[in-house]
């Protein structure tokens, strides 16, 4: 994946079927709340502590899918570790491990939706500026009559690299290592960019949320590739 501004590219393409997309959206609003490029203004498996649906009056959350992803948390004594502790003090439902589970789900979902040109799925998961960048890239692809094929074969690791609290505003940056196939095809189905070989990609995504807001969704505000 390449760093992208309002007109850059973001190779992502594994089209979700409608029911799967709807299922993941429900889980996203459940996990990262009560649950990698892009620059600002232009950051499983089902379910982003992007809040599991733990409202007792709501539907029971689906069972998590087993994952082999190595998830790494910062030292509790580090600035990032202290910020995560502060987030837990404000929102008792938040845990760093649960957040990473949701962040991995968000990564898969956003990557897939972007490749499919699925604006409806992307809109509630992105900040305004990041959505404008994604939307511009999708529009450029549509104008060129190009499609993207992206397959996420594995996510070997997800690491919280930074975390910050400013008042009630929380920000967490996650580094993802993923094995992907990324391919851009023209209107005749011919390859114009990328490769059908599985390639390791390193991305860094930043999610933000106002912990004082009743909205439980963590939104992607910035992303970049190493």
Which pTM does this prediction carry? 0.71
Residue of 13, 56, 28 whose CA lies nearest to 209: 28
pLDDT at position 196, please? Answer: 83
Mutual orientation of helices 128-143 and 96-116 as an angle, nearest 10°?
30
**What digits encode the pLDDT tens for the residues 37-61?**
333 333 333 333 443 333 334 444 4
Judging by DSSP bridges, how do beta strands 191-210 and 219-225 pair with one another? antiparallel
**What digits encode the pLDDT tens for the residues 147-184?**
999 999 999 999 999 999 998 999 999 999 999 998 89
Alpha carbon of 222 to those of 34, 60, 121, 219: distances in Å? 23, 32, 17, 9
**What digits encode the pLDDT tens for the residues 89-128?**
999 999 999 999 999 999 999 999 999 999 999 999 999 9
Q: Could you give the CA distance from residue 23 to residue 42 in angstroms, rounded to a whole number? A: 28
Give the pLDDT mean for 195-213: 93
Q: Is the pLDDT of residue 77 over 60?
A: yes
**What digits encode the pLDDT tens for the residues 174-189?**
999 999 998 899 888 8
pLDDT at position 179, please? Answer: 94
Percentage of the chain surpassing pLDDT 70? 70
- The domains of the chain are located at 18-53+67-225
Percentage of the chain surpassing pLDDT 90? 57
Q: Is the pLDDT of residue 211 over 80?
A: yes
Burial class of residue 153 in the structure, from the number of CB atoms within 10 Å of its CB (0-12 exposed, 13-18 middle, 19+ buried): exposed
Assigned CATH class of 18-53+67-225: alpha beta
Q: Could you give the CA distance from residue 67 to residue 171 in angstroms, rounded to a whole number? A: 25
Residues in the chain: 226
pLDDT at position 194, please? Answer: 82
Question: What residues form DSSP beta bridges with 50?
Answer: none
Q: Is 133 left (phi over 0), alpha (psi -120 to 50) or beta?
A: alpha
Grade residue 67 by pLDDT with cuts at 50, 70 and 90: low
Name the residue with tokens 């999708």: 138
């Amino acid at each position: 994946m390449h760093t992208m501004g309002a007109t850059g590219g973001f190779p992502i393409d594994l089209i979700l079927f409608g029911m799967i997309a709807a299922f993941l959206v429900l889980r996203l609003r459940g996990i990262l709340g009560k649950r990698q490029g892009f620059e600002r203004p232009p950051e499983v498996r089902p379910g982003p502590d992007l809040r599991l649906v733990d409202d007792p009056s709501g539907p029971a959350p689906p069972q998590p899918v087993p994952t082999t992803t190595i998830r790494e948390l910062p030292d509790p004594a580090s600035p990032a570790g202290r910020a995560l502790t502060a987030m837990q003090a404000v929102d008792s439902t938040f845990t760093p491990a649960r957040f990473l589970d949701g962040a991995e789900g968000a990564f898969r979902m956003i990557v897939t939706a972007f490749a499919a040109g699925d604006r409806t799925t992307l809109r509630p998961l992105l900040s305004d500026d990041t959505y404008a960048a994604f939307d511009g890239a999708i529009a450029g692809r549509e104008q060129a009559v190009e499609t993207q094929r992206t397959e996420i074969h594995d996510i070997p690791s997800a690491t919280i690299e930074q975390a910050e609290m400013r008042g009630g505003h929380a920000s967490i940056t996650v580094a993802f290592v993923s094995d992907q196939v990324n391919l851009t095809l023209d209107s005749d189905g011919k390859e114009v960019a990328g490769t059908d070989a599985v390639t390791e990609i390193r991305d860094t995504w930043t999610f933000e949320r106002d912990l004082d807001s009743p909205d439980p969704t963590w939104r992607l505000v910035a992303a970049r590739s190493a």
